[in-house]
Chain A
Amino acid sequence: MDIFTILFWVIAVALFIVSLIKNRQKTFDAMKKSKGMMKNMIGEIIGVIFLIGFILTMVPPESIKDFLGSSNAFISTIMSAIVGSITLIPAFVAFPLVGSLVDAGASVVPAVAFLTTLTMVGVVTFSLEKKEFGLKFAFVRNTLSFGFAVFIALFMGVVI
């Protein structure tokens, strides 16, 4: 567990104790409600996690090299953004990987497109987002995120 997760734990537990002291009954009712909500999600989350594991096997993080290095900047940006949307790679894998590729001379634009869609667009978590917030919300948010990720990437190409 990293320091931030630990801190998150400490704060949540502390607030929970405050809540218990302040209003026991309300806290128990809220626990029932949250339990119901989480129970609805947990199966889906586990499904999504195994789907991520599968995708990581089929499209390993290293395969991003093929897209980042492509000669056509436009195509490689779009492709990188798509790969980033589909896969979910932990940050501590993604940053060193992209860092080494950029150091080796890969263009910044597709690299940023990849890094940004990696976290902002979730194809695998889409079904869960749809279930929790409705199709329209999930669709609009993810489509906009994809568009803006490409936009951020192009802008970065100018700035950096």
Chain B
Amino acid sequence: MMAMDLIKRNKTVFGVAFLYLVLFVFSPEKAFASVNNSVYYLAEMFQVLPVIFLLTVVIEALVPKKTIMNSFGEGSGWRGKVYSLILGSISAGPVYAAFPVCKTLLGKGASITNIVIVLSSWAVIKVPMLANEVKFLGVEFMAARWVLTVGAILVMAQITSKVVKIKDLPKDERQDEERVVEIKKDYCVGCGICARMLPEYYEINEKKAKIIAEGVKNSDMDILLKSAEECPTKAIVVNG
């Protein structure tokens, strides 16, 4: 049961591992070539992810929610769009590196429009890539593609924000002041460690942990984070 759960939660990893296993049996050369190809991207990941980690920490700890809402939120207008475009363009790293940054911004009140702009410009209009494009395809080519791409990204962001609403995003991304502690029901195995640790916050109900406290005292934040760490299946999420 535990093993099935582990596989279910890491579908991609197990799927890819299985793929490589099959490949190693039937075509070892192709498998080695694939591993070789992956090395470049692994190196890139290790160069970029620590920075992304620091960046999300800085946004979370240093930048007040109000600032993010004013600069990237619903009412930020053209200024927000320009900021998003700049943030995406100057940042280094592959598009998946943009995911944690965007999640942190969303949590602090950024709008869907601006998140799409950050994500898309992060992917397509990188400054170092533009220089490369000029070198091999010429200034006109680069400039024309840049103008068209920026236009397309702005239109796309507008359309996406009409179709996708904040409520369509996974729950832990919603900005929600009161609910700082959440239990992922699918992951909870009902072990009861949390309820023993903090009976005033958790209770086991029908073999699942439940939050019984109305709101969280600031002085309890540390012990709540500790309870999230102790949870063997990491079903407790603390946002604060």
Chain A positions near chain B (C-beta within 8 angstroms)? 1-5, 7-9, 12-13, 15-16, 18-19, 22-23, 26-27, 29-38, 41-54, 56-58, 88, 90-92, 95-96, 98-100, 102, 108, 112, 115-116, 119-120, 122, 125, 127-129, 131-134, 136-137, 140-141, 144-145, 148-149, 151-152, 155-156, 159-160
Q: Give the complex CA separation of A45 and B13 in angstroms.
A: 9
Report, as a range, how many residues of chain B touch the other chain: 35 or more
Q: Which residues of B contact A96 (CB under 8 A)?
A: 136
Report yes or no: B95 in contact with A15, Cβ–Cβ below 8 A.
no
Q: Which residues of B contact A34 (CB under 8 A)?
A: 53, 56-57, 60, 100, 104
Report yes or no: A91 in contact with B132, Cβ–Cβ below 8 A.
yes
Interface string of B57-98 (1 = CB under 8 A from A): 110111000000000000000000000000000111111100
Of the candidates B11, B30, B56, B169, the one having the most CB atoms from chain A within 10 angstroms of its own CB is B56
Interface string of B1-19 (1 = CB under 8 A from A): 0000000001111011101
**Given A19-B57, A122-B123: A134 and B160 interface contact (C-beta under 8 Å):** no
Q: Give the complex CA separation of A54 and B26 in angstroms.
A: 14
**Given A44-B10, A57-B33: A119 and B61 interface contact (C-beta under 8 Å):** no
Closest CB-CB distance, A156 to chain B, in whole Å? 6
Report yes or no: A90 in contact with B96, Cβ–Cβ below 8 A.
no
Report yes or no: B137 in contact with A95, Cβ–Cβ below 8 A.
yes
Q: B35-43, B191-199, B209-217: which lies at the A interface? A: B35-43
Tell me the nearest residue of chain B to A133, going by C-beta. Answer: B169
B185 within 8 A of A: no
Pick from B23, B54, B170: contact of A12, CB below 8 A.
B54
Closest CB-CB distance, A141 to chain B, in whole Å? 6
B188 within 8 A of A: no
Q: Give the complex CA separation of A112 and B156 in angstroms.
A: 18
Offer 19 A-B interface pairs, CB within 8 angstroms, sorted by A.
A2-B92, A5-B92, A8-B93, A12-B55, A15-B62, A29-B240, A34-B53, A34-B57, A36-B228, A36-B234, A37-B56, A43-B13, A45-B49, A47-B12, A48-B12, A116-B145, A133-B173, A134-B168, A141-B120
Pick from B16, B145, B155, B169: contact of A156, CB below 8 A.
B145
Q: Give the complex CA separation of A27 and B20 in angstroms.
A: 40
Q: Give the complex CA separation of A105 and B220 in angstroms.
A: 68
Q: Which residues of A contact B115 (CB under 8 A)?
A: 133
Q: Give the complex CA separation of A108 and B148 in angstroms.
A: 14
Tell me the nearest residue of chain A to B129, going by C-beta. Answer: A91
Tell me the nearest residue of chain B to A24, going by C-beta. Answer: B61
Q: Give the complex CA separation of A33 and B228 in angstroms.
A: 10
Closest CB-CB distance, A137 to chain B, in whole Å? 5
Q: Give the complex CA separation of A9 and B119 in angstroms.
A: 20
Q: Give the complex CA separation of A137 and B169 in angstroms.
A: 7
Report yes or no: B159 in contact with A144, Cβ–Cβ below 8 A.
yes
Q: Which residues of B contact A90 (CB under 8 A)?
A: 40
Tell me the nearest residue of chain A to B140, going by C-beta. Answer: A160
Tell me the nearest residue of chain A to B91, going by C-beta. Answer: A8
Report yes or no: B137 in contact with A48, Cβ–Cβ below 8 A.
no
Report yes or no: A51 in contact with B144, Cβ–Cβ below 8 A.
no
Q: Which residues of A contact B123 (CB under 8 A)?
A: 119-120, 122
B239 within 8 A of A: yes
Q: Which residues of A contact B132 (CB under 8 A)?
A: 91-92, 95
Q: Give the complex CA separation of A9 and B36 in angstroms.
A: 26
Closest CB-CB distance, A69 to chain B, in whole Å? 17
